[in-house]
Structure 1
Amino acid sequence: MRFVLAGVAILAAVAILVSLGNWQMRRLAWKEALIEKVAERPDMPPLPAAAILAPGAAENEYRRVELAGRYLAADEVRVFTSLPVDEARGPASGPGAWIMTPFALQGGGTVLVNRGFVPDGAQWAPPPQGTTRLSGLVRPDDPPTFLTPESQLQDDLFFSRSISAIAEAKGLAAPVAPVTIDLLPAGNAPDLPQAGETRMRFPNRHLEYALTWYGLALALVAVFSAYALSSWRRR
């Protein structure tokens, strides 16, 4: 009976380890596709402005888009973040916020523009007034999860780049684009907000992790097989 129970436990453990290895392989495929997007899409020809208002706009993640319109400075909000010093392209890093400013498109509609990073306690420049042209990268919506803290509406502080939450809080006129835009740095841009901080580098150790889980499964099978063979010989 002890042998049978041990066998059942080993089979369950092997199944769990193999499933973890399979999950890491799926993550590997996803990460490789993401890295390929980041490497290719920013250099592709810019999308037309209308593309960011389409229902499937998020499929154009990391594509460049050039827009004309005006910033709605009164509806600007902050989104809490922390920019690691080894990932920052500019001098500012650490705890801070993304400065998200609604942008009224010249052809109609509104899109949230991430103007860049500002560290805690720092002041930042207001957006340009009047008709403005900008260039940025398409980013998908970032809805909150059950772990996301409640927004501090009195301070215009959010904890995710949730388009619906910000649009509702600020009463933005429809249609609101289902994506946001990460502003690219320009020659005449102010120091803060620090634009051009879209994350473009991603660690990829999923194959290593998968091989670890598969290796543990094989080791467990080998140990149990040796134990079973030894028990059979003794009997």
Structure 2
Amino acid sequence: MSNTGRRVRRGAVAVAWLFVIVALLGLGTWQVQRRAWKLDLTARVDARVHATPVPAPATAGTDDAYRRVRATGYYLPGRETFVQASTVRGPGFWAMTPLRRDDGSILLINRGYVPTRAALSPTPGAVTVTGLLRLDEPHGGFLRDNAPADERWYSRDVGAIAKRRGLSPALPYFVDADASDTRTGAPVGGLTVIHFPNSHLAYAVTWYILALMSTAGFVYWLRQERLRPDHKT
């Protein structure tokens, strides 16, 4: 190989190696930023969960997730939807019951866990429900899509449930009710799991270690190249 060819090859290897090092450093820094974002998210959600309940809004966005809200209205009996659930009490279902508010709008209330599908008798008359605002879950769950026609529900898809039950106008979110209904056989509320996995620090350390190892390998390669007999030829 000619001297020019060797220099081109060495240059290409050096550029590629430096690119890998920079990419690894970038990935590590990105994970550090993600960790900061996750810690901030956790703190904001924790503040919402323990805040004084506010009236249930007409709409909701990502900044409203897990906000503590309250709503007053009348349950619509016989129109429950049972959504598959996995809880600390074991497998079962979430009992989703529509609540008609005074303004005529309908809010789906996740009254809580039940072990089996069964006819439920919600509290008659006007009730005030307090709980956590939860965003719509339109994409199914448990690696399966909802099958409304077959009454198989794997996620709390507000739009699909409202359409199936003929509920209109339905608010675009649902509420996980607190554990306030203590009647025997009533759904068990207050089982919302709030958990945001945060392994970003471990990922960042891994990327930085790989960057350090790549840098050490690059330095070693440079020294070996300089010792080659043809380095100066």
State the TM-score bracket (shorter-chain normalisation): 0.7 to 0.9
Unmatched segments (≥5 aa) in structure 1: none
SS at match of 1:103: strand
Within the candidate set 102, 108, 129, 1:134 is matched to 129
Deviations 1:98-144 (A, max 9, x none): 2222211123211111111234x475743223322211111122221
- Aligned position for 1:44: 51
Contact kept, 8 Å, 1:57 with 1:179, in 2: the verdict is no
Residues 195 and 212 of structure 1, relative CA distance in 2, 3 Å threshold? same
Choose the corresponding residue for 1:219, options 205, 213, 218: 213
Residue 105 (1) aligns with residue 101 (2): yes
What TM-score do the two structures reach when normalised by structure 2?
A: 0.80
SS at match of 1:158: coil
Of stretches 13-22 and 179-188 in structure 1, the one that deviates more from structure 2 is 13-22
CA drift of 1:190 comes to 4.3
Q: How far does the alpha carbon of each residue in 1:144-188 deviate from its partner, in whole angstroms, 9 at most, with x for none?
A: 1799533222442222222212122222111x2222101000163
Q: Pairwise CA RMSD of aligned residues?
A: 2.8
| Within-5 A mapping of 1:184-199 | 184-186=178-180, 188-190=182-184, 192-199=186-193
CA contact (8 A) 1:57 1:178 kept: no
Partner of 2:69: 65
Alignment partner of 1:96: what SS?
strand
Between the aligned partners of 1:221 and 1:157, the Cα distance in structure 2 is 54
Unmatched runs of 5 consecutive residues or more in structure 2? 1-5
After TM superposition, where is structure 1 displaced by more than 4 Å over at least 4 residues in a row? 121-125, 145-148, 189-192
Shift of 1:61: 2.2
Contact 2:181 2:189 in 1 (8 A): no
Q: Aligned pair in 2 of structure 1 residues 218, 191: CA closer, same or farther (>3 Å)? A: farther
2:58 to 53, 56, 59: 53
Taking the aligned partners of 1:145 and 1:76, their CA distance within structure 2 comes to 18
Give the structure, 1 or 2, with the largest relative contact order (CA under 8 Å, sep 6 or more): 1
**1:77 aligned to 2:81?**
yes
Secondary structure at the counterpart of residue 112 of structure 1:
strand
* Equivalenced residues, count: 222
Q: Match of 2:176, SS?
A: strand
TM-score norm. by structure 1 comes to 0.79
Give the SS at the match of 2:54: coil
